[in-house]
């Protein structure tokens, strides 16, 4: 969950306390916010990055704390594409940040804006695409140097990789546009590049928007087909989200509304999946895993609301006390 509180992409004490609280709170894996592989890949000027040594060292401090309290540190690598260079969500001003106010020209699959108030993107050339792939690989190396034990490639929510594979946003007529194979080429190149430098024994996740929720857009059948390809590229788990390619999709948001998507990919592509989206109740989460709808549950909003969600869920489900020694000596 993005915090929009970094300076020049560098995580700080806020991020240490934010992520560290979830480790103390009993979470099994702590996934960073969408962390940009290059400056232009940030959603806002306040987003974190991992494209230089200062950022890497700052992340290493946070990783050390997470591991101290029994959690596994994971980094979500991202590039916002045409959704980059926007104001932080609590700003009274919406839309794109002007260059004179610290914004930049976003990079995209094409030169079309996501919404009218965003800054018009620059359509990536073939050589620029190759450079972006290199930035993903370099970021993975830095993530390993910082001590992360899992990488998640953020290829969802209308960000750069999703912009390429979705027929809604990809209007190219070159080797990266048109057919399913062409539109998924960038994600395959990024996955292959990262898997080539990421240790074989460490997991690699990919977050997909498994449907665009729009006729003629990316579908769950497309996602199943892509997941089968990603298995061959060394991906261990698909994080099954949805939407984000277009602002006018009608999404039936309700508790567990994306669980069936995780089940479909798990069953049809024979790969582990994570269920996400409006999952907040411990019994609900437990039932999803117990019924083989997904192999894992990823929580965002619920853990923003309650950093100790896992401790409280374990207590509710009767599976033990997950509190750290600093807290567990106190009898409730």
Both tokens of 327, joined, read: 């807290």
d(CA 279, CA 302): 7
The string of DSSP codes covering 228-275 is HHHHHTT--EEEEE---S-TT-----STTTTHHHHHHHHHHH--EEEE
Closest CA to 273 of 319, 237, 220: 237
Q: How far apart are CA 62 and CA 276, in angstroms?
A: 24
Select which of 4, 159, 165, 176 is catalytic.
159
205 close to 150: Cβ distance less than 8 angstroms: yes
DSSP, collapsed to helix, strand or coil, labels residue 205 as: strand
How far apart (Å, rounded) are the C-alpha atoms in residues 254 and 272?
Answer: 23
Distance CA(42)–CA(85), nearest Å, equals 7
CA distance 127 to 219: 29
Categorise residue 178: left if φ over 0, alpha if ψ from -120 to 50, beta otherwise.
left
Q: Name the residue among 84, 90, 133, 124 with its Cα closest to residue 104.
A: 84
Q: Judge whether 159 counts as a catalytic residue.
A: yes
Residues 6+ apart with CB under 8 A from 101: none
Q: Which among 164, 146, 144, 147 is positioned nearest to 155, based on CA atoms?
A: 164
Q: Which residues are catalytic?
A: 159
């Amino acid at each position: 969950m993005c915090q929009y509180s970094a300076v020049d992409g560098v995580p700080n004490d806020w991020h240490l306390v934010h992520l560290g609280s979830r480790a103390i709170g009993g979470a099994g894996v702590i996934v960073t916010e969408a962390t940009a592989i290059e400056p232009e890949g940030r959603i806002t000027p306040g987003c974190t990055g991992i494209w230089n040594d200062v950022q890497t060292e700052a992340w290493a401090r946070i990783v050390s704390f997470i591991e101290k309290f029994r959690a596994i540190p994971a980094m979500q690598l991202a590039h916002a594409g045409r959704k980059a260079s926007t104001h932080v969500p609590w700003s009274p001003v919406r839309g794109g940040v002007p260059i004179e106010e610290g914004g930049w020209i976003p990079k995209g699959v094409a030169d079309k804006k996501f919404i009218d108030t965003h800054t018009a993107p620059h359509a990536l050339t073939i050589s620029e695409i190759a450079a972006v792939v290199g930035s993903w690989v370099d970021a993975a190396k830095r993530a390993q140097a910082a001590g992360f034990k899992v990488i998640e490639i953020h290829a969802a929510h209308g960000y750069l990789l999703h912009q390429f594979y979705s027929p809604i946003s990809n209007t190219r007529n070159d080797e990266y546009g048109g057919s399913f194979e062409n539109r998924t080429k960038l994600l395959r190149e990024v996955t292959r590049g990262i898997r080539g430098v990421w240790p074989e024994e460490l997991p690699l996740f990919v977050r997909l928007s498994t449907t665009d929720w729009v006729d003629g857009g990316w579908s769950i059948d497309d996602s199943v087909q892509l997941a089968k390809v990603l298995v061959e590229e060394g991906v261990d788990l698909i994080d099954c989200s949805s939407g984000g390619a277009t602002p006018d999709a009608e999404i039936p948001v309700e508790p567990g509304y994306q669980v069936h998507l995780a089940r479909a990919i798990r069953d049809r592509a024979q790969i582990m999946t994570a269920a996400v989206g409006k999952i907040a109740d411990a019994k609900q989460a437990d039932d999803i895993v117990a019924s083989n709808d997904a192999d894992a549950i990823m929580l965002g909003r619920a853990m923003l609301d309650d950093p100790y969600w896992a401790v409280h869920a374990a207590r509710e489900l009767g599976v033990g006390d997950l509190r750290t020694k600093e807290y567990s000596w106190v009898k409730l």
